[in-house]
């Protein structure tokens, strides 16, 4: 379940945070996931302007 979406200003990447404790970096041109970051904590630092957040 996606719990947050952010797109840093001037970036061609969209970042999604999920309840599975991952952040995915998506390429806006191809629609493909470029990186998956694993977090073992219950919080994430803000990545640019938050477009959506579910708590």
pLDDT digits (tens, 9 = 90+) for 3-49: 888 888 888 999 998 888 888 999 999 999 999 988 765 555 555 55
For residue 22, give both structure tokens. 């991952």
pTM value?
0.72
Which conformational region is residue 21 in: left (phi greater than 0), alpha (psi within -120 to 50 degrees), or beta? left
Which DSSP symbol is given to 12?
A: S
Whether 17 and 25 have beta carbons less than 8 Å apart is answered as no
């Amino acid at each position: 379940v996606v719990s947050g979406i952010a797109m840093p200003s001037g970036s061609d990447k969209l970042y999604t945070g999920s309840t599975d404790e991952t952040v995915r970096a998506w390429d806006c041109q191809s629609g493909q996931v470029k990186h998956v970051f694993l977090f073992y904590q219950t919080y994430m630092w803000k990545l640019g302007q938050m477009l959506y957040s579910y708590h």
